[in-house]
Amino acid sequence: MLDGVATICDVFLNGEHVAHGESMFVPIRVELAGRLRDGDNELVICCRALAPRLAERRRPRARWRTALVSEGNLRFFRTMLLGRAPGFAPGPAVVGPFRPIRIERPSPLEQLRVLARVTPDGGGVVRARVRAPARLRLRLSGPDGVHEADLGPTGGELGVPSVARWWPHTHGDPVLHDVEIVCGDETVHRRRVGFRELEWPADWEQRGLALRLNGTEVFCRGAVWTPPSLERPHADADELRATLEAVRDAGMNMLRIPGIGCYESDVFHDLCDELGILVWQDFMFANLDYPDADPAFMAVVEEEARHVLGRLAGRPSLAVLCGGSECAQQVTMLGLDPELARGPLYTELLPGLVRDAEADVPYVPNAPWGGTLPFRPAQGVANYYGVGAYRRPLADARLADVRFAAECLAFSNVPDDPALEQLVEGSPSALPVPHLPAWKAGVPRDAGAGWDFEDVRDHYLRLLYEQDPLEVRWSDPARYLELARAVTGEVMAEAFGEWRRGDSACAGALVLWLRDLQPGAGWGLIDSTGRPKAALHHLRRALAPVAVWITDEGLAGMSAQLANDTASPVSARLRLTLYRDGEVLVEQAAREVALAPHSATSLDVEEALGRFVDIGWSYRFGPPGQDLVVASLEAGPEPGVGLISQAVRFPVGRPLRRETAVAVGLEAAASRTGEGTIGLTLRARRVLHGLRIEAPGWVADDDALTLEPGIERAVGLRAVTLEAGGETPKVTLTALNLSDRFRLPLPAPLRRG
């Protein structure tokens, strides 16, 4: 079995032509019986050049053209667009075997399909469809015990009176059950299933795609998935686990596999099932006018779609199936008839196959889709870049009334210094122009645009920090990088705060995208080496299952927003604190809050304080009474004890005037908390904003944070490698309003042996 070969290929075994492939998305199966010889065998894969085929004149002619790729005829070939998109993934394109090649024994089972469903009375049923030559038994085991039933020649079903439900990790436990098909004493098939009930509005094209899991509304948040790199689109199991655990730990509960890429491995989907991460799965179509009137092309697509649905249908993590990316948007924005995007590929073939597969998820013909125009954010599914590429003010995140953003908030996120230093030392050719700063590498650009996403980032740097990015970059490049790393995360956290409010109509948003394909300042929240960027830490706080954040309500003051997505009630103390001059306590109030499972609520901050203080300095009857507002959700009785979540607001602007560590009274200490883990305790007399923790070989569980004046903050460090875990790390603290670098006194290294 050749799991994936890009793209047009011929396969020879011991000199015999045994297979031909036209698609990188369909595995190639070679029957080995009678073809293997004693001793050595030779397998040859010959990948044919696409260039001559792309140069051919093909029919039908395209009804529209896209600037995404330069080869218009690429629409005839089943290969991914990543590696062929000059603006953000210029190449090289993937060629040759990019997935495993393996030998497997023929299965005695044919046409196997296993589906787990929740019954109306709260029980569960497992249905197995199969053709087999022998009598089989179906066995289900899990937290509800072990249950068995006989299968007939074409399958059967097994019902149980009650089952534990599968949840996305933000809302409960992703409970899985083991299913085995047994022939005699031999297990001939084994897989894991989850029981979950998924609902969505019938009129989602107007109202938005609001998903309900097990009767509970779920705010879907996450990112667009990317492979590790263009050169290595197939990640191994350890790398996949590390990345997906980082997704989970960041409070994300959905990943979108986009139509510009390739389908993911079974290991990826197994891990999403296990970790409780929902999957929005595109079919691999994007932007192009695909020849859906060509029977041969549609036959290849049908084979591809049947294969994908056979692997994914019935998985608990599968949440959405989508025909592709931006085809309807492309047509409409070119001023053409929107009906051109409603061809048989998206409206007949793919939805019919989804129904046949009994996938039990909504089918979205394309993203964006719905409403009077397919990209209106207040209807259906949109791609939202109002805050972002279109440089709209932060208030647009609420004004746009986003219902579900399948893509959003693309920014050129600058990685930390080690990644930039590695770029300069290891691959200077990756820089767009020799001798340019390393942060210029990997910056995405829409094809033909006179601006790039660094310009977008600089726009918000000027807006939030009231700094001229060109002047700062000219006079102090290191300072520019500090601000550039911080601003994109702050903007994204602000937008998600608007969308996640209890009275918001938004049901989900996915950032473009999760991980950079190449070194540099790409869209990724994780750099190309797998390390989180500062932006991810800002999002982690905004997306945490239990969280507090503050929204600016203009003349209505400020609201403390609270959410408890988990399945358990949360009892905590909400502490609201106001400071002046970055350190002087002006006002404080605290109240006990009881957050029900799967709930969201809000609280007027001035109401909680008991009086009007012009908290946002909106009325401006005089000088501001406070320049820092802090909302802390705490499990302990004292300030800072048992901190669950914390949010800050700066009514008169962010504190950027730099002072020394001595002037702000910064104190820090470290102690070993376990093998490969260290606990830091941080405290400062004055507020520190954008506090960064630098520790080569280690990763902080919180970073790019604001340190409340006079309150101790605990942060954990985890060794990235075993070698780092046995050494004394070099920990340095910096902040946007700190003029020097503070180095910690550290514990002794671990003893080895």
Highest mean pLDDT among 33-37, 196-200, 726-730: 196-200
Length of the chain: 753
How large a percentage of the chain has pLDDT more than 90? 76
Question: Is 275 a member of any domain?
Answer: yes
What confidence tens digit (pLDDT) does each residue in 140-189 have?
999 989 999 999 888 899 999 999 999 999 999 999 999 999 988 888 88
pLDDT tier, 722 (very low <50, low <70, confident <90, very high otherwise): low
Give residue 433's pLDDT: 63
Query: Nearest CA to 493 among 525, 529, 516, 468?
Result: 525
Give residue 753's pLDDT: 31
Give residue 194's pLDDT: 97
Backbone angles phi, psi at 36, to 5 degrees: -85, 145
Query: E strands of 94-185, at which residues?
Result: 96-97, 110-118, 124-131, 136-142, 145-151, 155-160, 177-183
Instruction: Note whether 597 and 485 are same-domain residues.
Output: no
Instruction: Note whether 613 and 727 are same-domain residues.
Output: no
Give residue 60's pLDDT: 84
How far is residue 55 CA from its own chain's centroid? 37
pLDDT tier, 431 (very low <50, low <70, confident <90, very high otherwise): low
Judge whether 129 and 151 are in contact, CB under 8 Å.
no
Return d(Cα 532, Cα 388) in angstroms, integer.
20
Question: Is the C-alpha dihedral spanning 509, 260, 489, 729 positive or negative?
Answer: positive
Question: Residue 486 is encoded by which pair of tokens?
Answer: 């911080």
Is this model's pTM higher than 0.85 or not? yes
Give residue 353's pLDDT: 97
How many beta carbons lie within 10 A of that of residue 541, not counting itself? 22
Q: Quick check: helix, strand or coil at residue 677? A: strand
Question: Is 18 a member of any domain?
Answer: no
pLDDT tier, 294 (very low <50, low <70, confident <90, very high otherwise): very high
Question: Is 12 a member of any domain?
Answer: no
Backbone angles phi, psi at 350, to 5 degrees: -65, -50
Question: Residue 5 is encoded by which pair of tokens?
Answer: 């070969």
Instruction: Note whether 466 and 599 are same-domain residues.
Output: no
Return d(Cα 609, Cα 606) in angstroms, integer.
5
Give residue 432's pLDDT: 60
Give residue 110's pLDDT: 74
pLDDT tier, 518 (very low <50, low <70, confident <90, very high otherwise): confident
Instruction: Note whether 575 and 666 are same-domain residues.
Output: no
**C-alpha distances in Å from residue 632, one per residue of 103, 338, 548, 625, 627:** 56, 49, 7, 20, 17
How many beta carbons lie within 10 A of that of residue 342, not counting itself? 17
Question: Is 577 a member of any domain?
Answer: yes
Give residue 354's pLDDT: 97
DSSP-assigned letters across all residues of 295-314: HHHHHHHHHHHHHHHHHHTT
In a 10 Å sphere around its CB, with 0-12 CB exposed, 13-18 middle and 19+ buried, how is residue 217 labelled?
middle
Instruction: Note whether 497 and 416 are same-domain residues.
Output: yes
Which residue type is seen at 215? G
Give the number of domains in the chain: 4
Question: To 5 degrees, how large is the angle CA 704–CA 705–CA 709?
Answer: 145
CATH number for the domain that contains residue 268: 3.20.20.80
Give residue 87's pLDDT: 84
pLDDT tier, 435 (very low <50, low <70, confident <90, very high otherwise): low
Instruction: Note whether 503 and 592 are same-domain residues.
Output: no
Domain termination site, one of 489, 522, 543: 543
Question: Is 31 a member of any domain?
Answer: no
Return d(Cα 559, Cα 500) in angstroms, integer.
13
What confidence tens digit (pLDDT) does each residue in 246-269 have?
999 999 999 999 999 999 999 999
Q: How many CA within 13 A on the CB side of residue 226?
A: 27
Return d(Cα 541, Cα 532) in angstroms, integer.
14
Judge whether 309 and 354 are in contact, CB under 8 Å.
yes
CATH number for the domain that contains residue 138: 2.60.40.10
Q: Quick check: helix, strand or coil at residue 270? A: helix
Judge whether 72 and 65 are in contact, CB under 8 Å.
yes
pLDDT tier, 538 (very low <50, low <70, confident <90, very high otherwise): very high
Judge whether 521 and 443 are in contact, CB under 8 Å.
yes
Return d(Cα 324, Cα 336) in angstroms, integer.
19
Instruction: Note whether 474 and 393 are same-domain residues.
Output: yes
How many beta carbons lie within 10 A of that of residue 621, not counting itself? 7
Check pLDDT > 90 for residue 213: yes
Question: Is 533 a member of any domain?
Answer: yes
Instruction: Note whether 550 and 676 are same-domain residues.
Output: no
Check pLDDT > 50 for residue 683: yes
Instruction: Note whether 552 and 527 are same-domain residues.
Output: no
What confidence tens digit (pLDDT) does each residue in 10-60 have?
999 999 999 999 999 999 999 998 899 999 999 999 999 998 988 888 878
Number of H helices, E strands in the chain: 17, 38
Query: Nearest CA to 597 among 165, 168, 171?
Result: 171
User: Which neighbouring-strand residues pair with 197?
Assistant: none
Instruction: Note whether 687 and 568 are same-domain residues.
Output: no
Domain termination site, one of 622, 648, 674: 648
Question: Residue 152 is encoded by which pair of tokens?
Answer: 């007939």
Instruction: Note whether 309 and 441 are same-domain residues.
Output: yes
Which residue type is seen at 623? P
Q: Rounded mean pLDDT of the chain?
A: 92
Domain termination site, one of 169, 193, 217: 193
User: Where is average pLDDT lowest: 128-132, 386-390, 451-455, 580-584?
Assistant: 128-132
Instruction: Note whether 178 and 250 are same-domain residues.
Output: no
What confidence tens digit (pLDDT) does each residue in 476-509 have?
999 999 999 999 999 999 999 999 999 999 999 9
Give residue 425's pLDDT: 64
- Mean pLDDT value across residues 326-330: 91
Question: To 5 degrees, how large is the angle CA 72–CA 78–CA 82?
Answer: 70
Check pLDDT > 50 for residue 750: no
Return d(Cα 96, Cα 171) in angstroms, integer.
41
Judge whether 323 and 362 are in contact, CB under 8 Å.
no
- Mean pLDDT value across residues 416-421: 87
Question: Is 204 a member of any domain?
Answer: no
Helix (H) or strand (E) holding 712: none
Domain holding 712, by residue range, is 661-743
Query: Nearest CA to 739 among 515, 503, 551, 478?
Result: 478
Question: Is 270 a member of any domain?
Answer: yes
